Amino acid sequence: MKAPVISSWFGRGQGETPPDIESAALRSDRFRLEREGDWKRLEAILVRMEKGGLRRIADDDLIALPALYRTAASSLSVARETSLDAATLAYLEALVQRAWFQVYGPRTGFVRWLRDFLFGGWSRAVRELWLDICIALFVMVAGTVVGWLLVAQDEAWFYRLFPANPGDVRAPGATREQLLKSLEHEEGAAGLAGFAAQLFSNNSGVCILAFALGFCFGIPSLLLLVHNMALLGALLWLFNGQGLVVELAAWLSVHGTTELFGILLSGAAGLHIGRAMAFPGKRPVLDAAALAGRRSAVVMVGVVIMMVVAALLEAFPRQLVEDTGSRFIIGGSLLAFWLAYFILYRPAPRAAEVAA
């Protein structure tokens, strides 16, 4: 029913409808009646596809799907331009979104996507960032050296890099016994699951931040890498003063080969986006950034997996294994695995990927 209006509308009596509103309502009804058949057919096809995939779709409907999607998208554009009723607009928006996913969305389920990601997709995306990885690696090594030199020149830099912690004995002036004790495990497996969750949160936060800052032409991502590696350089200087740099390296290697590799990849992913924006080539800046962003996003999904592995290694093997040689074996094996996966593992891309 039409809503009543007051008598001030062009001198009409109460209960009458202004001609512009009545005309708009008639135009909306006519627009919907002329196209509703195609919308309903498209909706019926989408319902069958969402329930059972392509097996439930007749050949004629499958052939007509792209045309019906374009018709619905065109109707949505007209509805927005002419300000048709809100119900029609909301219906078309939902219909076009569902149709877009079925026409252009991924054709694989999660299990198949994960299989393609782990068995080729991730390693291929990492190799495409080789230049950014080399730059990020150089920056990380430089940051470690800078941290060492700063603290070696002035011990006050240690406290600038490491916030004061009353319970932490790792500070200038610590004895060899105190530093050795800090490398020993203090508890058994009980409670380490919560510790692993905390470590995962911290590590992935650093990686996501390094990736997210890439839009500023990658410069903040590189600065974040320098800062984090300067902390490592200061720690190496501290333990080297007591002749414990080998023990520290073994302690760090258990989780560090995975964690630092993940941080390296996240910094490279952020730099890749920033470099694409600064040097887009023949593409428009937004197109170049979008392409780099999709490639970097694949790498970052893998980085999250690496952070989970690093957190588990840091919470369990590093805390439960005390032997220096065993720690090096664990860390070295993980490093060899990641290098082999990213460099040597090169499965042939699927036909769909080649066509893309």
pLDDT tens, residue by residue, 160-198:
887 767 677 888 888 999 888 888 765 544 445 555 566
Q: What is the pLDDT of residues 345-354, one digit of tens each?
A: 988 765 444 4
pLDDT of the residue at 127: 95
pLDDT of the residue at 242: 92
Structure tokens at 145: 């050296």
pLDDT of the residue at 139: 96
Q: Where are the domains of the chain?
A: 19-104, 112-355
pLDDT of the residue at 17: 47
- Mean pLDDT per segment of 10 residues, for the chain of length 356 residues? 41 49 62 83 85 70 84 82 75 85 66 84 94 96 96 92 75 89 63 56 78 85 91 93 92 91 94 91 87 91 91 79 89 95 82 42
pLDDT of the residue at 21: 52
Quote the pTM value. 0.68
pLDDT of the residue at 81: 75
